[in-house]
């Protein structure tokens, strides 16, 4: 959250919605993360939340930040990210 403090403050309250109703998802074996992306209709902003498991198995949010349409399109085009809903 330290790397994207403005995005964190702006989208923090939406974390439950992003995790429960994502539009896109990916699994990143290299980082051990599951990424959830939701596009907010009112702002057309895509927001990514990355979740990881600690060594003891506790899930935690690793990252939360807005991603560009170009980055999202790239992820979708390469098959890294899949449509969820």
- Give pLDDT, residue 2: 60
Q: Are 62 and 36 in contact (CB under 8 A)?
A: no
pLDDT computed for residue 49 by the predictor? 96
In sequence order, what are the residues at sequence separation of 6 or more whose Cβ sits closer than 8 angstroms to the Cβ of residue 3? 63, 65
Question: Which residue blocks in the chain are alpha helix, DSSP H?
Answer: 5-11, 15-20, 69-78
Q: Does pLDDT of 5 surpass 90?
A: no
How many domains in the chain? Answer: 1
The whole domain housing 30 covers 5-83
What pLDDT score was predicted for residue 39?
Answer: 94
Looking at per-residue confidence, does 19 or 85 come out higher? Answer: 19
Q: What is the pLDDT of residue 29?
A: 83
Tokens of 50: 């990355």
Q: Find how far residue 48's CA is from the centre of its chain.
A: 2
Kindly report, residue by residue over 20-79, the tens digit of the pLDDT: 999 999 998 888 899 999 998 777 899 999 999 988 989 999 999 999 999 999 999 999
Residue 64, beta-bridge partner list: 49
């Amino acid at each position: 959250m330290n790397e994207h403090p403005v995005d964190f403050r702006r989208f923090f309250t939406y974390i439950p919605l992003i995790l429960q109703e994502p539009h896109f998802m990916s699994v990143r074996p290299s980082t051990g993360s599951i990424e959830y992306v939701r596009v907010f209709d009112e702002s057309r902003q895509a927001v990514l939340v990355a979740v990881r498991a600690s060594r003891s198995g506790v899930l935690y949010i690793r990252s939360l930040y807005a991603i560009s349409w170009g980055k999202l399109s790239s992820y979708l085009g390469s098959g890294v990210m899949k449509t969820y809903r």
